[in-house]
Amino acid sequence: MKRLLGLTLGILTAIGGFVDVGDLVASAVVGARFGMALAWATVLGVIGIMLYADMAGRVAAVSGLATFDVVRQVLGPRVALLNLLASMAVNLLTLTAEIGGVALALELASSVSYLLFIPVVGFLVWLVLWRLPFEQMERLFGLAGLALVVFVVAVVRLHPSYAALWHGSVHPKVPNGEGHPTYFYYAIAILGSAMTPYEVFFFSSGGREERWSERDLAEERANVFVGFPLGAILSLAITATAALVLLPQQIQVEHLDQTALPVVVALGKVGLVVVILGFVAATGGAALETALSSGYAVAQYFGWSWGKFLPPARAARFHAVLLVSVVAAMTLVLTTLDPVKITEYSLVFSVVALPLTYAPILVAANDRRSMGEHANGPFSNLLGAAFLILITVAAVVAIPLMVATKAGQ
Amino acid sequence: MSGRTRDLGLHLLDRQIVDPDGHAVGRVDDVELMVPEDGSPPYVIAMLTGPQALGPRLGGLLGRWVVFWSHALSRGSEAGPGRIGMELVTDFGTDISVSRTRLELGVHANEDRARDYLVGRLPGARGAER
């Protein structure tokens, strides 16, 4: 149990990348339209984020620098500011979507309009940011998010042909009636979402919150190698349930309740209860991750004191950023913007934020003076450079594809 | 620590400054150089921190805008950026350690304002340090 509790930072970080509200719907959309034909994009994404989260975590543990410390030092004030603005846009849009996502999950449980829940959800998110110690927060939301394992159980209970699922995954084919641009738009959206920059802001700063040092590198690595694959498995399980139940019935997915539908088919009411719990924990966890990432990034860029380990009065500007972020997100979601669409549009800002975040991490992980024997080896560098090129190209292609396919419609 | 040659961009600029209690003081947003009259190479006499030091390094309209607003918001209580003399530096590590606390250095007006007018007024702001 103690070992599991040590892994909750990785699990909570991965929730934001693989099963936040945008992913919960997108994974089901993809399953209902393409079957398992986009599983490779999730696998590619999990390799990329594991590689870079490990570098960011290692730098945080060994040289004591969180990711935006690194961004500022490597890129200087001007380019780092560009990254900061783009990252803040991604964070704020995602936070808006997640607050809406928690409220939508509560609507699913109560049939009361999600808009009525927004003030309560926003206040509770802020209260956790304000009062709950970091480790208790990551344990509560990381472990509760594991309720989404119900999707794996649902896959088993649906008694699928595993051979067919496997075949669909390793021999991807664009189904009749779907265009290649749409297919590749979703591939890029999955990759971009899996590698979204707030994960490394949160993971590296969380490592500092837990006061990681060189001695904790084994724990850091365990978090990377358990947390992210777990997130990817949950995401693939959601896709598989949609492929098994929704695809044959030609049901199009647009909302969170349709993501839950296959579980209800497989497991009945009990399944629905667990799914809603999982939705609340995952979207709530992603809300905390994105809000904190905003605070971490701004405070590190300007050199302010930051962290939940300090009483708020000792990190006043950090907490002011958290408060303003939550209030701004609540206001945005009350304009009745569709929370799921919001996460899709945040991809536009990722175009700037992704390369400007991952390139500095690669540089810092290679600094032998501060990293010593823990600097990157040639294998990590080769793979890291390949992913840097891949995400940059994908990010540049994303916007024309988004326009051409009307965001995958 | 004086008299040593270091790469300014690599070892000083944009680094975090921490006080003896381990608290963040600010970033090295800019430096003050002394140019000796005898023609020997210039050397750093102080680190500058805060928006009024950052603005000029950002440059352009944005930089001027940052300086203008930071000046306007400070209501004249501080002229120019926070300045920390190099004689106060005790260690050049990943962070730059200085020998005075952030209160003694007096470069913390914005943090104080955020605490006094917003964060410090909310219940539980001074909760026990963990």
Cβ pair A320:B14 closer than 8 A: no
**What's B97's domain CATH number?**
2.30.30.240
Cβ pair B24:A304 closer than 8 A: yes
Cβ pair A313:B120 closer than 8 A: yes
Q: Is B96 an 8 Å CB contact of chain A?
A: no
Domain contains B128: no
Output the pLDDT for position B2: 46
Q: Which B positions 9-48 lie with beta carbon below 8 A of chain A?
A: 13-17, 23-27, 29
Q: How far is A77 from chain B (nearest CA, A)?
A: 6
Residues in chain B closer than 8 A to A299 (CB atoms): 24
Cβ pair B111:A316 closer than 8 A: yes
Model confidence band, residue B77 (pLDDT cutoffs 50, 70, 90): low
CA A261 – CA A28 distance, rounded (Å): 10
Output the pLDDT for position B129: 45
Domain contains B49: yes
Domains: count for chain A: 1
How much of chain A, in percent, has pLDDT values that exceed 70?
A: 100
Output the pLDDT for position A345: 85
Residues in chain B closer than 8 A to A133 (CB atoms): 130
Residues in chain B closer than 8 A to A69 (CB atoms): 16
Domains: count for chain B: 1
Model confidence band, residue B76 (pLDDT cutoffs 50, 70, 90): low
Least confident of A133-147, A182-196, B55-69, B106-120: B106-120
Cβ pair B26:A303 closer than 8 A: yes
A101-151 residue pLDDT tens: 999 999 999 999 999 999 999 999 999 999 999 999 999 999 999 999 999
CB-nearest partner of A312 from B14, B17, B125: B125
Model confidence band, residue B72 (pLDDT cutoffs 50, 70, 90): confident
Cβ pair B130:A77 closer than 8 A: no
Q: Is A211 an 8 Å CB contact of chain B?
A: no
Q: Is A133 an 8 Å CB contact of chain B?
A: yes
A333-358 residue pLDDT tens: 999 999 888 988 888 898 889 999 99
**What's A140's domain CATH number?**
1.20.1740.10
Where in the sequence is the domain holding B60, given as residue range(s)?
Answer: 8-121
Output the pLDDT for position B4: 66
Q: Is the pLDDT of residue B75 over 70?
A: no
Cβ pair A130:B126 closer than 8 A: no
Cβ pair B14:A72 closer than 8 A: yes
Beta bridge partners of B92: B96
Domain contains A409: no
CA A39 – CA A56 distance, rounded (Å): 26
Cβ pair B129:A311 closer than 8 A: yes
CB-nearest partner of A312 from B49, B59, B119: B119
A216-262 residue pLDDT tens: 999 999 999 999 999 999 999 999 999 999 999 999 999 999 999 99
Domain contains A126: yes
Strand order in the sheet with B82-85: B30-34, B43-49, B82-85
Best to test chain B binding among A130, A211, A321 (most B CBs inside 10 Å): A130
Q: Is B110 an 8 Å CB contact of chain A?
A: yes
Domain contains A306: yes
Q: Is A73 an 8 Å CB contact of chain B?
A: yes
Where in the sequence is the domain holding A328, given as residue range(s)?
Answer: 2-404
Q: Is B4 an 8 Å CB contact of chain A?
A: no
**Average pLDDT in the A380-409 region?**
91
CB-nearest partner of B125 from A65, A311, A370: A311
Domain contains A204: yes
CB-nearest partner of A73 from B14, B126, B130: B14
Q: Is A160 an 8 Å CB contact of chain B?
A: no
CB-nearest partner of B111 from A76, A317, A370: A317
Best to test chain B binding among A69, A79, A131, A213 (most B CBs inside 10 Å): A69
Q: Is the pLDDT of residue B13 over 90?
A: yes
Domain contains A18: yes
Output the pLDDT for position B3: 58
Q: Is the pLDDT of residue B10 over 80?
A: no
Residues in chain A closer than 8 A to B124 (CB atoms): 130-131, 312
Cβ pair A303:B59 closer than 8 A: no
CB-nearest partner of B126 from A78, A302, A313: A313
